[in-house]
């Protein structure tokens, strides 16, 4: 059966547009000093100009995703998953960028395959788990196909290295499996296995061991926290209730690392204060609320899981970034959706919102 069409969730669109506006202003404010001081950048508006180009592309993909027939995309899920996994491997054949293999340079554009993969995986899980007769009570599904696909891709992303993307992927998948009806014992085994894998990688292999040990030491003595975290907390503290004023922040001037990307939340706190942080958090919460509201209003399993998965992916990403800025978890190098500078994150987040807007119209699909 099909439900009647309803109006698109315009409030969600307004929330996202407000976040993009705040992000664009703060990207310029927090990056202008860096761009002006570095000769390889043309002028103080270097990052702003690039972000505006990404912004235009983001709105284009958002509107396309909001209009497309989602049902016609389901046969393409398998090939898309294979292709996005292939891109995760291709990055290792390209030169390092800032000491990592996270980005794939195509000459005029640089993309981050892990951003694409996590949303493709959500689409794949929603499609697969919605098939008739598919039930997570069957333990064989964890052995094939879900287990190998998730573990293999997570390992590729971890080796890049991109710990933040792995955490987003893991948190999204486990929560989505819970919503899909996975048994608590299976989820517990999955979580325990993931925790064991992380322990081996950190304390046996040595992956990100320094960051983890520094974070652990900082719990007893904040002065032992990593440089990024100390500068982030100082930046937030200096903002006070109303901030030092837009454009007047001092920590962005070579004190706070990545003030326009990973730590833009701290830049907002310094220049716009608690009031600015409260507004930003309210908008981020509104984004998650509208997404889950759209999910609960779906009339078939595939659309419910897709809406929930897309929202969860954004929510986990937001929570991890803010937790890093507040010094609650080790630094991960992950951006804040719609606010941080960067094309891959902005475009993929906009695509996710586009699909949510699409699903908000209430077009249910025939059962598969």
**Residue scoring higher pLDDT (268 or 221):** 268
How much is the pLDDT for 39? Answer: 63
How much is the pLDDT for 368? Answer: 41
Query: Does residue 23 surpass a pLDDT of 80?
Result: yes
Helix, strand or coil, per DSSP, at residue 297: coil
How much is the pLDDT for 257? Answer: 86
What is the distance between the alpha carbons of residues 282 and 22, in angstroms, rounded to a whole number? 13
Length of the chain (residues): 368
What is the distance between the alpha carbons of residues 229 and 251, in angstroms, rounded to a whole number? 12
Per-residue pLDDT tens over the stretch 42-87: 678 888 999 999 999 999 999 999 999 999 999 999 999 999 999 9
What is the distance between the alpha carbons of residues 340 and 318, in angstroms, rounded to a whole number? 11
Query: Does residue 364 surpass a pLDDT of 90?
Result: no
List the beta bridge partners of residue 100: 97
The reply to whether omega before 145 is within 30° of 0 (cis) is: yes
Per-residue pLDDT tens over the stretch 333-362: 789 999 999 888 999 999 999 999 999 987
Per-residue pLDDT tens over the stretch 246-277: 988 888 887 888 899 999 999 999 999 999 99
Report the b/e string of 143-172 with b at 16+ CB within 10 A.
eeebeebbeebbebbbbbbbbbbbbbbbbb
Percent of the chain topping pLDDT 90? 51
Instruction: Give me the residue spans of the domains in the chain.
Output: 10-360
| CB-based contact 17:353 (threshold 8 Å) | no
How much is the pLDDT for 291? Answer: 97
How much is the pLDDT for 4? Answer: 44
What is the distance between the alpha carbons of residues 343 and 60, in angstroms, rounded to a whole number? 13
């Amino acid at each position: 059966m099909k439900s009647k069409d309803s109006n698109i969730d315009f409030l969600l669109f307004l929330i996202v547009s407000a976040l993009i506006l705040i992000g664009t202003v703060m990207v310029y404010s927090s990056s202008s000093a860096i761009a002006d001081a570095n000769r390889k950048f043309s002028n103080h508006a270097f990052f702003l100009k690039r972000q505006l180009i990404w912004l235009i592309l983001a709105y284009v993909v958002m509107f396309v995703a909001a209009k497309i027939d989602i049902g016609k995309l389901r046969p393409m899920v398998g090939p898309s998953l294979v292709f996005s996994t292939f891109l995760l491997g291709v990055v290792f054949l390209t030169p390092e960028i800032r000491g990592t293999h996270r980005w794939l340079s195509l000459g005029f554009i640089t993309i981050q395959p892990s951003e694409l993969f996590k949303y493709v995986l959500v689409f794949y899980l929603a499609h697969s788990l919605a098939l008739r007769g598919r039930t997570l009570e069957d333990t064989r599904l964890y052995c094939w196909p879900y287990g190998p696909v998730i573990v293999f891709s997570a390992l590729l992303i971890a080796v890049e290295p991109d710990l933040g993307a792995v955490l987003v992927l893991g948190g999204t998948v486990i929560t989505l499996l819970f919503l899909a009806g996975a048994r608590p014992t299976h989820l517990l085994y999955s979580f325990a296995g993931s925790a064991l894998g992380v322990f081996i990688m950190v304390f046996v292999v040595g992956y990100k061991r320094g960051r983890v040990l520094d974070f652990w030491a900082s719990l007893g003595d904040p002065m032992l926290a990593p440089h990024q975290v100390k500068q982030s907390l100082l930046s937030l503290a200096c903002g006070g209730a109303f901030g030092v004023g837009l454009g007047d922040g001092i920590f962005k001037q070579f004190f706070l690392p990545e003030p326009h990307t990973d730590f833009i939340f701290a830049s907002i706190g310094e220049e716009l204060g608690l009031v600015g942080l409260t507004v930003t958090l309210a908008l981020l919460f509104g984004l998650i609320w509208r997404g889950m509201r759209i999910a609960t209003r779906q009339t078939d399993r595939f659309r419910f899981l897709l809406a929930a998965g897309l929202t969860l992916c954004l929510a986990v990403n937001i929570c991890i970034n803010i937790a890093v800025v507040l010094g609650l978890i080790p630094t991960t190098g992950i951006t804040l959706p719609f606010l941080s500078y960067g094309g891959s994150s902005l475009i993929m987040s906009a695509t996710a919102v586009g699909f949510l807007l699409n699903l908000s119209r209430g077009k249910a699909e025939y059962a598969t």
